[in-house]
Amino acid sequence: MEVHQLRYFCAVARHGTFTRASEVEHVAQPSLSQQILKLEAELGARLFDRLPRFAKLTVFGKAFLPKAERILRELEEAKTELRDMSGNEKGEVVVGIIPTIAAYLLPGLLNDFTVRHPLITIKIIEDITPALLLRLHEGTIDIAVAALPIAGSELASVELFEEKFYAVLPEKHRLASRAFISLAELNREPFLLLKEGHCFRDSLIAACHKLSMSPSIVFESGQFATILAMVSAGMGVSAVPAMAVQPQPGCKFIPISGKHSTRKVVIVTSRHHYQSRVQRLLMKHMRDASGEPGRRAS
């Protein structure tokens, strides 16, 4: 059994077709198919049902996939450990990050890091929290940046910072001149929120529930930009984290008072995966940069 056979098998399982897997692995499709056949012959079991448009894992393939992934992951971790022993600051870090943080935190932070560490490559995957935690478990990302709470005893988190929530009101709203506002004062307002799955939505609704209120949600979107445009048009009110507070015609941003109106942003890692030298360097840089005055709104 060869390592490249395991890699090809996982690629077909992940992408669903031999054609796409061969493209990703930069190998001719007949060669990839031949290696999968050799792997199946050695295992004595068919791993895929070859259908006209896609390849479907058999019951044997489903049982073999997590073991093959674990072998490949452990080989990569072994190579990383040996690189770390040489003391070289070279390698790759795959960072998963939620959409309500990515656009505001990453640009300046990663630019500073790549200037200081030009031989370290950073790859970014933006997704909602449940998907990122699954990727951490699978080992397809090295660290995740998300907001508490994070469920799972196999996960460890390090706090980057805590930030306030801001109410977003149409500029002619009756409360738009206030210096501060409480969530309770927005109890009967039409709310415009992020779609389900976004942890900022969950954090805001949890804060409302602690005040025994349920927001009246009249519009949902996957983007703050869309929500702010709707608020500007007078369609309702919303809330955003401090880092998303930016000039927006027709909108007023007002800090929300109360101990529940904040979120903690954290770096999440898996306790079961090796943490490389370059990962530790990036995590330290993120913690240091998050504490700098002017780096983030608070």
pLDDT value for 177: 95
Model confidence over 245-274: pLDDT tens digits? 988 999 999 999 988 899 999 999 999 888
Residue 16 has pLDDT above 50, yes or no: yes
β-pair partners for 269: 156
Whether the Cβ atoms of residue 77 and residue 274 lie closer than 8 Å to each other: yes
Domains 89-160+267-290 and 161-263 share a fold: yes
What are the tokens at 273? 């995966």
C-alpha to C-alpha distance for 190 and 170, rounded to whole angstroms: 12
- Over residues 181-187, the mean pLDDT reads 93
> Which residues touch 271 (CB under 8 Å, ≥6 apart)?
154, 155, 156
pLDDT value for 5: 94
Class of domain 89-160+267-290: alpha beta
Domain 3-84 sits in CATH 3.40.50.300: no
For the four alpha carbons of 44, 15, 196 and 254, in that order, the dihedral sign comes to: positive
pLDDT value for 296: 43
Burial class of residue 211 in the structure, from the number of CB atoms within 10 Å of its CB (0-12 exposed, 13-18 middle, 19+ buried)? middle
What does DSSP say about strands 143-147 and 181-182: parallel, antiparallel, or unpaired?
unpaired
Across the chain, mean pLDDT equals 90
Q: What share of the chain is helix, strand, coil (3-state, %, to 5)?
A: 45, 25, 30
CA 200 to chain CA centroid, Å, is 13
Whether the Cβ atoms of residue 271 and residue 155 lie closer than 8 Å to each other: yes
- The pLDDT-based confidence of 291 (bands split at 50, 70, 90) is confident
* Domain positions in the chain: 3-84, 89-160+267-290, 161-263
Whether the Cβ atoms of residue 242 and residue 224 lie closer than 8 Å to each other: no
**pTM for the structure as a whole:** 0.71
Class of domain 161-263: alpha beta
122-149: string of b/e by CB count within 10 Å (b at 16+)? beeeebbbebbbebbeebebbbbbbbee
Using a pLDDT cut of 70, give the percent of the chain over it: 96
- The pLDDT-based confidence of 109 (bands split at 50, 70, 90) is confident
Whether the Cβ atoms of residue 45 and residue 63 lie closer than 8 Å to each other: no
